Chain A
């Protein structure tokens, strides 16, 4: 597609429920990143994919968080047993692989606003 697409744009869920957030990167972008932006906070790195593998998942805050990427394209971020502190905007970005980040930076999606009640 022309840009990075994220769905849903908004999600309200009850505490303890599982949620799945989807990211569809720009076609041909082999690198995909998930970040979290909490109210009043900066961007917190969660996980990075190169193709279908995740060379850096150091930012996942707990084992309730997981992500996968299939076919080198769409990625899903799953949060199990959601807690109120998981409420945030979850941003996905993609980039060309190799020196893509150095040369082109990221293209971000519009994010998914998750509210846990």
Chain B
């Protein structure tokens, strides 16, 4: 069965520093991978997706993610974190019934 794992419950980073939020996946076949962000008291917003093609995917708000097939990873990255990036981040994979399976989420805290 398809699944994703987010090994970190929380990531803390200083404003201006690069950030990485980790995600690993387990799928049969080609993976369809997604990142979503949830700001406080808001629904989830789409950040970016990997379907096929370039391993480095660029998304909203300056975020990018690197697909690594050998490590079965899809880590979310940003070169310079902002305090406003503080939120809950979810990695997801499409399963074979065409729904998304989400990870447990990682809370990103960016300190001024």
Task: Write the residues of chain B forming the contact surface with A, with a CB cutoff of 8 angstroms.
Answer: 32, 34, 36, 42-46, 49, 51, 90, 92, 94, 97-105
Contacts and interface: CB of A to CB of B under 8 A. Distances in A.
A108 B90 contact: no
Contacts, number: 55
Tell me what chain B mostly uses at the interface: helix, strand, loop, or mixed: strand
A102 B45 contact: no
Nearest to A102: B32
Interface stretch (A14-22, A39-47, A80-88): A39-47
Interface of A: 4, 31, 33, 35, 41-43, 45, 48, 55-56, 91, 93, 101-103, 105-111
Given A41-B104, A102-B94, A105-B49, 9 more contacts: A42-B105, A55-B97, A56-B97, A102-B51, A102-B98, A106-B46, A106-B100, A108-B43, A111-B43
Which of B51, B92, B99, B103 gathers the greatest number of chain A CB atoms within 10 Å?
B99
Contacts of A48: 97-99
Contact of B104 (A42, A106, A111): A42
